[in-house]
Amino acid sequence: MSVEEGTKRSLLERLQDNYRLVILDDDDLREVTSFSFSLLIVYILLSSVMVLLTVMVVSFIVFTPVKRWIPGYGEIKENSEFVELTRRIDELEKQVQAHDTYTMGLKNMLKSIENAEVEQASKSPQPLKNSDVVESMKTRALDHLVFASPLSGSISAEYDPSREHLGTDIIAPKGTAVKSVMEGIVLSAEWSVESGNSVLIQHPRNIVSVYKHNSAILVKPGQKVQTGQAVAIIGNSGEMSSGPHLHFELWYDGQPVNPKNYISFN
Ligand SMILES: [Zn+2]
């Protein structure tokens, strides 16, 4: 009967049964101390200790470098950092390369201008007197090259070195885009009192193109441009400009050449 009663009691009731732990002196069996407890209390205490321990261990792993020893955990984070660093190095390398190309173009241009000046000084005092002959000799190398037109319009002033006009002036409607005649790297893109907003582009084979009096500049120094890419918007900026037009110059090997011989502006 008592066994049946035992099985009928619920688990909670059994857990609530009180027990007493008595500690006796081994010599005279005198009671030293005693504790009264139920199994429920023991379970709650043990569970709390387990939870606390788990929380402590997890925090220890997550918030200290110990996590690096856990396979996979640290590696993922370090890998992503590594990938990010590699990407930034690639980016910096590209920037350095672009900068090198730009510096080289600038050096070449300065060198060719210097050479031209020395050449001019050592030759006759009026080297441009018979300019067409000089030009045809100097620029034979340009004949087989194909240039894009910077814009379509009507020519208002021709290239005329005797008047110190080293470019061709072309009139076009307001807002017309001025395009690069060839692929290259922007040497300078800035405003000056005399020329207004000007763009200088270094092309392969020591060719430099110049675009002056623009209303706006669309490129930055060091930037790579493609043939036909818009680099500026036509304007009337600068003291030397008397109306909306593009003053276009083409230089080869440090010498200005007549743009009309190589480029059609119609
Ligand atoms: Zn001009």
Q: What's the CA-to-centroid distance between 165 and ligand 1, angstroms?
A: 6
Are 55 and 170 found together in one domain?
Answer: no
Are 56 and 145 found together in one domain?
Answer: no
Of 122-131, 154-163, 195-204, 237-246, the least confident:
122-131
Are 256 and 152 found together in one domain?
Answer: yes
Q: What's the CA-to-centroid distance between 185 and ligand 1, angstroms?
A: 23
Q: What's the CA-to-centroid distance between 169 and ligand 1, angstroms?
A: 5
Contacts of 109 (CB under 8 A, 6+ apart): 187, 202, 206, 208, 254
Q: Of 211, 185, 187, 215, give the one whose Cα is nearest residue 198.
A: 211
**Cα angle for residues 190, 253, 98 (degrees, 5° grid):** 50
Q: What's the CA-to-centroid distance between 176 and ligand 1, angstroms?
A: 17
Are 59 and 137 found together in one domain?
Answer: no
Q: Is it the case that residue 126 has pLDDT exceeding 50?
A: no
Return the residue matching tokens 């304007």.
Answer: 235
Are 41 and 144 found together in one domain?
Answer: no
Are 140 and 256 found together in one domain?
Answer: yes
Q: What's the CA-to-centroid distance between 19 and ligand 1, angstroms?
A: 110
Out of 17, 36, 63, a domain closes at 63
Residue 70 forms part of a structural domain? no
Out of 10, 37, 63, a domain closes at 63
Summarize the confidence of residues 186-202 as an average pLDDT.
Answer: 93
Residue 6 forms part of a structural domain? yes
Amino acid 229: pLDDT: 96
Residue 115 forms part of a structural domain? no
Summarize the confidence of residues 55-63 as an average pLDDT.
Answer: 90
259 CB burial (10 A radius; 0-12, 13-18, 19+) = buried
Q: Is it the case that residue 214 has pLDDT exceeding 90?
A: yes
Q: Of 178, 243, 176, give the one whose Cα is nearest residue 210.
A: 178
Around ion ligand 1, residues with a beta carbon closer than 5 Å are: 169, 247
Which two structure tokens, joined as six digits, stand for 84? Answer: 């990010």
Which two structure tokens, joined as six digits, stand for 213? Answer: 């009096």
Are 49 and 139 found together in one domain?
Answer: no
Summarize the confidence of residues 33-37 as an average pLDDT.
Answer: 88
Residue 101 vs residue 170, higher pLDDT: 170
Are 137 and 256 found together in one domain?
Answer: yes
Percent share of the chain, pLDDT over 90: 48
Q: What's the CA-to-centroid distance between 266 and ligand 1, angstroms?
A: 17
Q: What's the CA-to-centroid distance between 248 and ligand 1, angstroms?
A: 7
Out of 63, 96, 113, a domain closes at 63
Q: Is it the case that residue 185 has pLDDT exceeding 70?
A: yes
Q: What's the CA-to-centroid distance between 157 and ligand 1, angstroms?
A: 7
Q: What's the CA-to-centroid distance between 129 and ligand 1, angstroms?
A: 20
Which two structure tokens, joined as six digits, stand for 17? Answer: 């049964």
Q: What's the CA-to-centroid distance between 170 and ligand 1, angstroms?
A: 8
Residue 32 forms part of a structural domain? yes
Q: What's the CA-to-centroid distance between 88 and ligand 1, angstroms?
A: 44
Q: How many domains does the chain have?
A: 2
CA distance 186 to 248: 15
Amino acid 127: pLDDT: 47
What rounded mean pLDDT belongs to the chain? 85
Residue 257 forms part of a structural domain? yes
pLDDT digits (tens, 9 = 90+) for 109-118: 787 777 776 6
Are 149 and 252 found together in one domain?
Answer: yes
Are 37 and 136 found together in one domain?
Answer: no
pTM of the model: 0.52
Are 36 and 147 found together in one domain?
Answer: no
Are 54 and 136 found together in one domain?
Answer: no
Structural domain harbouring 15:
2-63
Q: Enumerate the β-bridge partners of residue 246.
A: 170
Q: Enumerate the β-bridge partners of residue 230.
A: 179
Q: What's the CA-to-centroid distance between 209 and ligand 1, angstroms?
A: 13
Amino acid 18: pLDDT: 87
pLDDT band at 7 (very low <50, low <70, confident <90, very high): low
Amino acid 232: pLDDT: 96
pLDDT digits (tens, 9 = 90+) for 148-180: 999 999 999 999 999 999 999 999 988 899 999
CB atoms within 10 A of CB 130: 10
> Residues 40, 16: contact at Cβ < 8 Å?
yes
What does 184-207 look like in DSSP terms, one character per residue?
A: EEEEEEEEETTTEEEEEEEETTTE
Q: What's the CA-to-centroid distance between 178 and ligand 1, angstroms?
A: 15
Q: What's the CA-to-centroid distance between 210 and ligand 1, angstroms?
A: 11
CA distance 9 to 17: 11
Q: What's the CA-to-centroid distance between 120 and ligand 1, angstroms?
A: 23
Q: 216-217 and 230-233: which strand pairing? A: antiparallel
Summarize the confidence of residues 238-249 as an average pLDDT.
Answer: 82
Residue 31 forms part of a structural domain? yes
Q: What's the CA-to-centroid distance between 205 and ligand 1, angstroms?
A: 24
Contacts of 146 (CB under 8 A, 6+ apart): none
Residue 255 forms part of a structural domain? yes
Q: What share of the chain is helix, strand, coil (3-state, %, to 5)?
A: 40, 25, 30
Amino acid 14: pLDDT: 84
- What's the CATH code of the domain at 185? 2.70.70.10
Residue 58 forms part of a structural domain? yes
Q: What's the CA-to-centroid distance between 260 and ligand 1, angstroms?
A: 13
Q: Is it the case that residue 242 has pLDDT exceeding 70?
A: no
Amino acid 241: pLDDT: 66
